[in-house]
Structure 1
């Protein structure tokens, strides 16, 4: 099952790279300092038949940039920020390829 772990790691890194590319300007968010793009991480855990990949950002603005925000924040400032999707499109693009690669890795292990 080492092939499954390797395939999952490769797929997670590919997804992270695509998210970072999508977060490099329109239609995604504009780059100001580059810290937001750098906040995206990919981690693979597990072994044997159960392997999990997690791709995410700990940046507080991640949800707001992906989905937009309308209303007052915790400090009472009012915003009408449109969404700048970058995660969703990357997942949609990576899904079919990930499914094919994982299927091939499982068949090779059997």
Structure 2
């Protein structure tokens, strides 16, 4: 239904017709009808009408200055049982060494560096 609508990947720029299709979270597997709808940020709580516009990771809480800049996977490797707390893309399955490097947020476009 709304699969991928709220999250954008770098590949979206190359494959406009598949915009947002490649991003998924582990919660998506449990709630198919709400696919990609369950990623939220602190801003989502403040601005419900813009829910899902930004993506937050656990690392954001540890490193606020890098909030929403890049989705990192160090926590995934350290805490496999918590995998899915971070966003992953379908490409991650094909290229494990680059897992989660392809996700970007609206803040990335506003603050490229």
Normalising by structure 1, report the TM-score. 0.23
Q: Using CA pairs under 8 Å that are at least 6 residues apart, name the structure with larger relative contact order, 1 or 2.
A: 1
* Larger fraction in strand: 1
Normalising by structure 2, report the TM-score. 0.23
Larger radius of gyration: 1
